[in-house]
Every structure is written in structure tokens, then in C-alpha cells.
Amino acid sequence: MPTMLEVNGLDHRYGTGETAHVAVRDLNFTVEAGSLACIVGPSGCGKSTLLRCIAGLIKPSGGTVSLHGDRVDGVPDDLAVVFQDYSRSLFPWLSVQRNVEFPLRWGSLGKAERRQRAADALEAVGLAGVGGKFPWQLSGGMQQRVSIARALASRPALLLMDEPFASVDAQTRFELEDLLRRVQREQGSTVLLVTHDIDESVYLSDRVLVLSKSPATIVADLEVGLPEERDQIATRESAEFVAMRGEVARLLQVGPTGGAGEDASGASATAGAGTAEKDPAKASS
């Protein structure tokens, strides 16, 4: 498959001189078109900084980001972002339909096509018929579905998701994970999702990029060998899932060479390379 996203030598620091904080350091990776990749790392390691650099929201201190071969210098028109806090990303005074239509108003689409795009996106996330309601009339999970629908309506080349399911309950989280996998496969979307939840990264993705503690470097690039069709119970109980989960947890805790905190940028592994371990379900600092 062709490369959709390419990150080369990405560095970013906040401040200057001896007091500067290096958030990410020499990151190199690609994401293929039509794939779903997850970035997992400890809290505070620089995941959100990386996502902002990719989205063109901040200019990196060094390195380059390219989207379908074009260097990112500002926010690309064909990129969409879904944030963790749905309550702040939706306009409470606009209906659900108009929230989804909102980003389309600055394009060349006519009113009728904008309405159809929004209706199609709402149907894709299971919210057909609620376009006339307001966000505050919906549950948290439904509001995040609206956020996803709004991102999909613009038909982006790349969909970035910054811990999108962290603010919902466990059952709703499972439903949204399955929703994302279904919509991503149906529409052939390219998705890069950031999370600190190990189980979520393995369940959702085709690849898992494991980051070190701050400053973030890539510890491993893992191919997920799970079947395309996944189930919240059967998949999570499978030997393949447990082995991959244990490998990601081990890499987050001790790194690929057994030395916690070492710079292992460029290391790679494949699904099933590790053994199942009883590690925490989430990476935390």
C-alpha cells in the first residue's frame, strides 16, 4: 500500500537553552494508506505533542512531516482530528446535524451536499435520526460518536485521534472501539490513534508504535497479527492477544534490551514475539 503519512527525524522542544524541555526526539515512522495504527506510551511522554506536530497545529523544532507526499506546513485541508474531550469539541448551541456540517462550510460544497454528507456520517456511526437534537441531550458516548461523524464527514486523507475513548465508561468504550474498526474498514480510512491503554492499542490496530518515556523515542514498531474480525471477549482471551499485550507492557516498562529509559529508537518486533505477562492494563508514568 502507498504511504499516507511519513515522519522523518521529528524533534520538538519547549523553551530554549538549558531550561528547554525536549518532548519528542528523532522520531521516524510511516503509516500506510487504509491502515489503523496506534501510538502507545506512558503518560506525559510526548504523544499529544507528536499528534499536534503531525496535524500542523505546532511547528516541530526539527524534522519533517509529510501527508501523501506533501510536506505539512500548517493544518492540511484533508486532515481531521478527534479529541478526548467531546464536551469541548462540540458546539452546544448547534444541533447535531449542524455540528457535523460545520467544518464543511468552508469548502466548496453546496448546502444540499453538506447536509447529505452529514447525514451519511451520522448513519455510519449509528446516529441516524438524531440530527435535530443538541449535544447536551445526548449521552457522553453518543456525543463522541458525533465528534467521529464530524471528522468522517470531511472524508479526510488522515484521521488523527487523541485518546478519543478515555472519557467514557468501559462498556461505551468497547462499543466505540468496535464502531471505529467497522467504519475504518468500510470507508478505507487511514487512522492514527494515540492512547496510553495497552489493551486498546492491541485490539484496535494493525500496528502498534511503542514510545519511551519523555523525550519520546520509538521503542518498537509491532505488527499486530490478530484476525481482521475481532470480538471484545473472544479476541481479548486469545493467546495471540495476551502475548502481544504482554510484549507491549514489557517494552513500556523495561525497553527492548531490558534497560528502562534507554533510547531504543528504531527497534522493531512482530506480533507474538513476546510471552504473556501479568502487567498493568495501562501504561502510566
Q: What are phi and psi of 237, to 5 degrees?
A: -90, -10
- Residues 217 and 28: their CA atoms lie apart, in Å, by 9
Give the pLDDT score at 220.
94
pLDDT digits (tens, 9 = 90+) for 80-103: 999 888 778 899 999 999 999 998
- One-letter-per-residue 3-state SS of 171-213: HHHHHHHHHHHHHHHHHCCCEEEEECEHHHHHHHCCEEEEECC
C-alpha cell at 275: 510471552
In sign, the C-alpha dihedral spanning 187, 232, 165, 71 is: negative
* % of the chain with per-residue pLDDT over 70: 89
pLDDT digits (tens, 9 = 90+) for 32-84: 999 999 999 888 888 889 999 999 999 999 999 999 999 999 989 899 999 88
pLDDT digits (tens, 9 = 90+) for 164-206: 888 888 898 999 999 999 999 988 999 999 998 999 999 999 9
Distances in Å between the alpha carbon of 131 and those of 34, 65, 148, 251? 28, 36, 14, 44
Give the pLDDT score at 257.
59
CATH class of the domain defined by 1-78+185-285:
alpha beta
- Residues 128 and 197: their CA atoms lie apart, in Å, by 30
pTM of the prediction?
0.85
- Residues 220 and 264: their CA atoms lie apart, in Å, by 8
DSSP annotation of 266 = T
